[in-house]
Amino acid sequence: MRCGRIPDVIIDPDTEELLHAAVHNNAEWCAAVSGAGSFAPDVWTSARRTPPYYPDGVTLTREASPDALLAGMDTGSPGCSVKDSFAALDLAPAGFEVLFAAQWIHRPAQAPAPSAPALTWSRVTDPGGLAAWEAAWDGGESTGLFHPGLLTEEIAFLAGRSADGRIVAGAAANRTGRVVGLSNVFTADDAPADEAWTGALTAVADLWPGLPVVGYEAGDDLDTAVRHGFAPLGPLRIWLHTA
């Protein structure tokens, strides 16, 4: 069910600059989780298969060349994927198909403060807490996707705990330059979806005050983000290699 009309994207110099900041922030997050890959002016690519849910290539500009992108990835084994950050590529001739489309989003630094969270929120600070966070996020057991090397000053895993100490909501945040990326927003055990956004945004504002928050979402999650003060910046697509 759609929860309301998504505001139109108005492209101006400030919006374009913020869009590029969101793209680069997310590429840095993908590189950190993957623990591999290299940056070129127009693309980030990994020559070895990246972890589940994370792309093997990300375009960083509208002018990114499909040839340069594909040359940096392993398209010979199953699961190769690309984050087409500006929805500008046609990768079908190379054996890819669109897996899903989404919208880059941003929440201005001057947006009203979110309502007070109902859960107790804190930052994960050790490997055991990170494993518990991942298990709650995945709904099962930790696989080590989010490795302890991610527990840095510029990356924060945020956990919302119930009265008995269980993690029932959370998000990941990473700061690059003058923006903070928010991703992997989740709730568990029937906690309301709005609580994850409320708690995560409150925690981000405490950690990095005065910075806009960026990310990308689709479907109902996009509607929820818009309810919490986000606006769209532009479309992206995820391509999956199927040939």
Q: What does the DSSP assignment read for 89-107?
A: ---GGGTEEEEEEEEEEEE
* Number of Cβ within a 10 Å radius of residue 238: 17
Give the confidence band of 193 by pLDDT, cuts at 50, 70, 90. confident
Largest CA distance in the chain: 53
Contacts of 5 (CB under 8 A, 6+ apart): none
Give the closest residue to 199 by CA, choosing from 171, 167, 179.
171
Q: Taking 70 as the threshold, does the pLDDT of residue 7 lie above it?
A: no
Q: Cα–Cα distance between 237 and 43 in angstroms, integer? A: 15
Mean pLDDT (the chain) is 92
Give the confidence band of 115 by pLDDT, cuts at 50, 70, 90. confident
Put the strands of the sheet holding 179-187 in their side by side order. 38-39, 43-45, 57-59, 81-84, 231-241, 96-107, 213-217, 179-187, 167-176, 155-161, 120-123
pTM for the structure as a whole? 0.91
Give the confidence band of 1 by pLDDT, cuts at 50, 70, 90. very low
Q: Cα–Cα distance between 143 and 166 in angstroms, integer? A: 19
Q: Which residues pair with 121 in a beta bridge?
A: 160
Q: Taking 70 as the threshold, does the pLDDT of residue 183 lie above it?
A: yes
Q: Taking 80 as the threshold, does the pLDDT of residue 95 lie above it?
A: yes
Q: How much is the pLDDT for 190?
A: 76
